[in-house]
Amino acid sequence: MEDILIKSSTNSYKISIGESLRLQIKQFLNKEYSSVLIVTDEHVAALYLNDILENLPTDRVFQSIVPAGEKSKNLQSYYQLQTEAIEFGLDRQSLIIALGGGVVGDLAGFVAATYMRGIDYIQMPTTILAHDSSVGGKVAINHELGKNLIGNFYPPEAVIYDVDTLHSLSEREVRSGYAELIKEALIANENFFNTLLTVDIYNVSNRELQEHLQQGIKIKAAIVEADERELGVRKYLNLGHTLGHALEAELGYGTLTHGEAVAIGLLFSIHVSEDLFSVELPFEELLEWFRTNQYPIIGTNLDISALINKMKTDKKTLKSRIQMVLLEDVAKPVAKELDDTEIEHYLTSFESRLMAK
Amino acid sequence: MEDILIKSSTNSYKISIGESLRLQIKQFLNKEYSSVLIVTDEHVAALYLNDILENLPTDRVFQSIVPAGEKSKNLQSYYQLQTEAIEFGLDRQSLIIALGGGVVGDLAGFVAATYMRGIDYIQMPTTILAHDSSVGGKVAINHELGKNLIGNFYPPEAVIYDVDTLHSLSEREVRSGYAELIKEALIANENFFNTLLTVDIYNVSNRELQEHLQQGIKIKAAIVEADERELGVRKYLNLGHTLGHALEAELGYGTLTHGEAVAIGLLFSIHVSEDLFSVELPFEELLEWFRTNQYPIIGTNLDISALINKMKTDKKTLKSRIQMVLLEDVAKPVAKELDDTEIEHYLTSFESRLMAK
């Protein structure tokens, strides 16, 4: 097991990564809680819920199971969980455990952040992708008009990452998670990026996977500590996300996984960067790696004006100009505002470039 | 104009109390905002919205007007305001101004706290009652199962209290506000309490009113600074609120004003305290004062078991026992857990006591 310590403005919490941690949940509880609510989805519940239930030291344990998938990150599920928390009798000395992927983590975290104005919660991510969302205290639900538009900065008490739970992931989920690892590498660590480009993501060993997660989390942790409330460098973590979020919203959440959408967004950011900064970046290598690893790189038949509208409701948008994170080089991110016409131009040339390959 | 400075864990903000402040709104903005959304209700909009609009230094000013009354503090209004904020193009450098009473302040504050994970907001209270809710950073909406169950601790950038706007209050609103002033006096300042018992609340001068607000706010401010997240002394501010909230919920929000319900709750707390601590407290004097000032002291025909159920969903409830704030003496509050049977006993004897008067 490896621990990574994160200092937030209001608390410090540990990210513990290792095997069988779900069976040792007891040792991660720093105080006595009056009751515990485990929030999870139907898929994860079938696999791991009992492991947690059997290892908690209190008998006031409740469970709320939401449907799997991004659609649960909406206002209705949020309110339903609040209702259940009230009906179970959770009070301010209660704990919420978010057991699942990013959807469960963001949703249950936002419930914890706002239930009776905030109670403790613990993240137990069960996907590779959630290494990203479970670190940094961002919690949120989606608005019909855009992803993550409603939420808080609300750090967890702990993040418990049991790598055993990653064996049950589908290929789509593995792809989705590795896209965020690629993103972190692109922002901050060229060696890590080059290592990832040699990886066959469906055949990594447990040890390699743990190593990749640690690298990714360390990059994220350093950025989050430097800029908890996204006033500066934290925005670099949105590399690939301006177009990524717009694609997810435009195609309907769930059509592409988050990471699959980000993968396309990363290529687009590199495409724009190469032109704007007249630099050579690993566009071709990354595109090839994505295709080898079966990422659906949809770059044709996009409704460009609809995408631009979606990009404008991104939280990083200032005064209705689109802000993108670009790369002056690998590991040299920079934020830049672009006009609609520039974005339109680049989306068109991006489409042509992908079609030519 | 008088300023009271409040230090929170994340910022410091000033409460400014004086005349014509709404016309000087410009001087209270500490930075340049990309846009401003004024949230207010239909009644306040008709009276004061133009004053604010005309005195803001930016042309990107938007307004969202909610129906007046507690019913707007629900999930639907909350989501509607989020939608409008997105459609107006508010970004993270935008400001929300909550212009109105406690409902508008709590609702707009919670929107600000959770819009894109938190943007700046300013409270401009237009009721006496809101002197309480606008100080301390508590923001919330109601759940069908209880008041203020969904919310955050999220301090404003400033509180601007223009006493001119208090002239237009109805008698019900004046009563409602003075009940919270009585509560603050009971918690912390016997002289202030004795002063208030001499006041005819419908005939106070502007100067007296300003003095009462300052006294109340100073009591609240001292408590909030000592205990921002309600782990200790802040709970004393809930004197009268355990039964008060339950009455509001049980009778239907709006049947009694918040302060009218708290007035009954204060009497009940004193009633319980006298018996539990064998002390003599000013129950009779306060009851007489409430009746002289036309408070509806409803203490008969209560559905006691329904009230007890409501009291259990209060945020102060620990492990399903009801926690009440009581008084060992005036200005000596204490928190205590009571069993259902004790509560039932006291509600019954409270009813008899009120009927006998």
ipTM: 0.87
pLDDT of residue B168: 84
Residue list for the binding site of B for NAD(+) = 102-106, 126-127, 138, 147
Q: Which of A89, A118, A149 sits opposite B153 (nearest CB)?
A: A118
A224: chain B residues, CB-CB within 8 Å: none
Contact yes or no for B114 and A114 at CB 8 A: yes
Closest chain A CA to residue B9: A10
Cβ atoms of A219 and A268 within 8 Å: the answer is: no
Q: Is the pLDDT of residue A114 over 80?
A: yes
Q: How confident is the model at residue B232 (pLDDT cuts 50, 70, 90)?
A: confident
* pLDDT of B253 higher than 80: no
| B147 → chain A, closest CA residue | A116
Q: Which residues are within 8 A (CB) of A99 and not within 5 positions of it... i.e. 6 or more apart?
A: A38, A39, A40, A44, A48, A49, A52, A124, A126
Enumerate the residues of chain B whose CB falls inside 8 A of the CB of residue A151.
114, 116-117
The span from the CA of B245 to the CA of B238, in Å, is 10
Q: What is the mean pLDDT of chain A?
A: 93
What are the structure tokens assigned to B136, written together?
A: 């301390």
pLDDT at B30 over 90: no
What residues of chain B lie within 8 A of the CB of A229, using their CB? Answer: 117-118
Average pLDDT score over residue span A273-289: 97
B46 interfaces chain A, CB cutoff of 8 Å: no
For residue B181, the distance in angstroms to the closest alpha carbon of chain A comes to 24
Residue B81 has pLDDT above 90, yes or no: yes
Q: Does the CB of A10 have a partner CB in chain B at under 8 Å?
A: yes
Q: How confident is the model at residue A312 (pLDDT cuts 50, 70, 90)?
A: confident
Q: Do residues A48 and A74 make contact, with C-beta atoms less than 8 angstroms apart?
A: no
Q: pLDDT value at position A267?
A: 98
Is pLDDT above 90 for A301? no
The answer, yes or no, to whether residue A45 has pLDDT greater than 90, is: yes
Please give the share of chain A, as a percent, with pLDDT higher than 90: 78
Q: Which residue of B has its CA nearest to A146?
A: B86
Give residue A56's pLDDT band: very low, low, confident or very high (50, 70, 90).
very high
Residues of chain A with CATH 3.40.50.1970: 2-166
Select from B78, B76, B89 the least CA-distant residue to B37.
B89
Hey, of B59, B76, B84, B91, which one would you mutate to test binding to chain A, going by the most A CBs within 10 A of its CB? B91
- The confidence band for B94, taking pLDDT boundaries of 50, 70 and 90, is very high
Residue whose C-alpha is closest to residue A41's, from A190, A152, A173, A149: A173
Over residues A35-64, the mean pLDDT reads 95
- Using pLDDT thresholds of 50, 70 and 90, give the confidence band for residue A318: low
Decide: A116 and A92 in contact? Cβ < 8 Å.
yes
Nearest residue in chain A measured CA to CA from B82:
A150
Q: Hey, are the CB atoms on B140 and A117 less than 8 Å from each other?
A: yes
Instruction: Supply the CATH classification number for the domain B171-356.
Output: 1.20.1090.10
DSSP state of B318: B
State the sign of the Cα–Cα–Cα–Cα dihedral B183, B186, B189, B192: positive
The helix/strand/coil state of B56 is: coil
Burial (Cβ within 10 Å: 0-12, 13-18, ≥19) of residue B117? buried
| Confidence band for A316, pLDDT divided at 50, 70 and 90 | low
Range name among B107-111, B219-223, B324-328 with the lowest pLDDT average: B219-223
Query: Where are any strands of DSSP class E within chain B?
Result: 2-7, 12-18, 36-41, 61-66, 95-100, 120-125, 138-143, 146-153, 158-162, 322-329, 332-338
CB–CB contact A315 B34 (8 Å): no
Rounded Cα–Cα distance for residues B36 and B25 (Å) = 12
Q: Which residues of chain B have a CB within 8 Å of the CB of A152?
A: 113-114, 117-118, 152
A75 CB near a chain B CB, below 8 Å?
yes
Best residue of A87, A116, A313, A319 to probe chain B, by most B CBs closer than 10 Å: A116
Q: What is the arithmetic mean of pLDDT over A51-70? A: 93
Which residues make Cβ contacts (< 8 Å) with residue B273, sequence separation at least 6? Answer: B279, B281, B326, B327, B328
pLDDT recorded at residue A252: 79
For residues B200-206, average pLDDT: 90
Task: Give me Rg for the CA atoms of chain B.
Answer: 20
pLDDT at A205: 85
Residue, of B8 and A343, whose pLDDT is higher = A343
Read off the pLDDT of each residue in B221-250 and give the average, rounded to a whole number.
90
Residue to test with chain B: of A11, A33, A91, A120, most B Cβ within 10 A: A91
pLDDT higher than 70, residue B315: no
The boundaries of every CATH 1.20.1090.10 domain in chain A are 171-356
* Contact with chain A for residue B136, Cβ under 8 A: no
Provide the strand spans (E) within chain A. 2-7, 12-18, 36-41, 61-66, 95-100, 120-125, 138-143, 146-153, 158-162, 322-329, 332-338
Distance to chain B for A156, nearest Cα, Å = 15
* Average pLDDT rounded to a whole number, residues A105-130: 97
Chain A environment of B229 (Cβ under 8 Å): 117-118
- Residue A276 CA to residue A272 CA, distance in Å, equals 6
Q: For residue B96, which of B87, B107, A152 has the smallest C-alpha distance?
A: B107
- Dmax over Cα atoms in chain A, in whole Å? 62
Which residue in B86, B89, B146 is closest to A143 by CB distance? B86
Crossing angle of the two packed helices A258-277 and A171-188, in degrees rounded to 10 = 30
Chain centroid to CA A278? 30
Question: By the CB < 8 Å criterion, does B93 face chain A?
Answer: yes
When pLDDT is cut at 50, 70 and 90, the band that residue B278 belongs to is very high
- B86 pLDDT band, cuts 50/70/90, is very high
Angle between the N-to-C axes of helices B283-292 and B258-277, in degrees from 0 to 180, rounded to the nearest 10: 160
Say whether residue A321 is in contact with chain B using an 8 A CB cutoff.
no
Cβ–Cβ pairs < 8 A, chains A and B: 107
Smallest Cβ–Cβ distance between B82 and the set A92, A150, A317 belongs to: A150
- For B99, phi and psi rounded to 5 degrees? -105, 100
> In 3-state terms, what secondary structure has residue A310?
helix
Residue A17: both structure tokens together: 């990564």
Residue with tokens 């955050």: B152
Confidence check: pLDDT of B316 > 70: no
Residue A49 is predicted with a pLDDT of 97
HSE-up of B52 (CA within 13 Å, CB side)? 29
Identify which has the larger pLDDT, A99 or B207. Answer: A99
Q: Which of A161-175, A273-287, B184-198 has the lowest mean pLDDT?
A: A161-175
Torsion of CA B50, B52, B57, B58, to 10 degrees: -70
Other Cβ atoms less than 10 A from the Cβ of A228: the count is 19
CATH class of A2-166: alpha beta
Residue B317 pLDDT grade (very low, low, confident, very high; cuts 50, 70, 90): low
**Pick from B224, B250, B66: which is nearest to B137 by CA?**
B224
Over range A193-218, report the average pLDDT. 94
* Confidence class for position B56, pLDDT limits 50, 70, 90: very high
β-pair type (B95-100, B120-125): parallel
Q: What percent of chain B is modeled with pLDDT above 70?
A: 97
Stretch B218-230: mean pLDDT: 89
Q: Is A59 in CB contact (< 8 Å) with chain B?
A: no
Question: At B92, is the pLDDT very low, low, confident or very high (cuts 50, 70, 90)?
Answer: very high
By the CB < 8 Å criterion, does A232 face chain B?
no
Q: What does the pLDDT read at residue A180?
A: 97
Closest by Cβ to B315, choosing from A34, A35, A92: A92
Which residues of chain A does B93 touch, with a Cβ-Cβ cutoff of 8 Å? 318-319
- Report the C-alpha gap between A350 and B2 in whole angstroms: 60
Report residue A257 as tokens.
């996984």
Indicate the pLDDT class of residue A315, thresholds 50, 70 and 90: low
